[in-house]
Amino acid sequence: MKRIFALLLTIAIYSCNSNQVDPTEKVVSNNNVTFYGKEISNDSILDFNKEKELVMTKGQKSCKLSGKIVETCSKKGCWMTLDTGEDTLFIKFRDYGFFVPIDSVEGKTAVIQGDLFLDTTSIEMLKHYAEDAGKAEEEIALITEPSYELGFIADGVIINE
């Protein structure tokens, strides 16, 4: 069991570190809007605070949210953080099926559709994400506890130009 976990963890870390472009990435541009992953709409965006309350009691909720992009993975675009106005939400993309740009999107508005859930991020993954973001080794060394927060797995992302 430990070997399987170690193998899966190694694969996850390697896949984010790879500089290859994923051929399954789907990018569609339309009227100053760019879609990544599943093509979704700009309507029916839910209130983050209400969705957060539901997730705190149920553990997971499918929803569509919006916010400003704070940061993306600088190596591959395999994750991003979104300022919802109340919290900063960490977003991964379902099954690494698509990626977002690695630069020039910070501050732009994004719409995400997928699953909001309660998440635990291990120390090892927090350090990996900090490395992806280009943090200093001293800052990475200060990561000594796992993180407990909301997470989001996106099926589709819209980035408004």
The yes-or-no verdict on residue 6 having pLDDT over 60 is no
* Percent over 90 (pLDDT), the chain: 57
The yes-or-no verdict on residue 83 having pLDDT over 90 is yes
Cα separation, 120 vs 117, in Å, equals 10
pLDDT digits (tens, 9 = 90+) for 14-66: 455 444 444 334 555 666 778 999 999 988 999 999 999 999 888 899 999 99
Q: How far is CA 80 from CA 42, 56, 58, 62, 108, in A?
A: 19, 22, 24, 18, 12
149 pLDDT band, cuts 50/70/90, is confident
pLDDT at position 30: 63
pLDDT at position 16: 53
CATH class of 2-160: mainly beta
- As a three-state string, the secondary structure of the chain is CHHHHHHHHHHHHHHHHCCCCCCCCCEEEECCEEEEECCCCCCCCCCHHHHHHHHHHHCEEEEEEEEEEEEECCCCCCEEEEECCCCEEEEEEHHHCCCCCCCCCCCCEEEEEEEEEEEEECHHHHHHHHHHCCCCHHHHHCCCCCEEEEEEEEEEEEEEC
Dihedral of alpha carbons 99, 79, 95, 123, sign? positive
The yes-or-no verdict on residue 11 having pLDDT over 60 is no
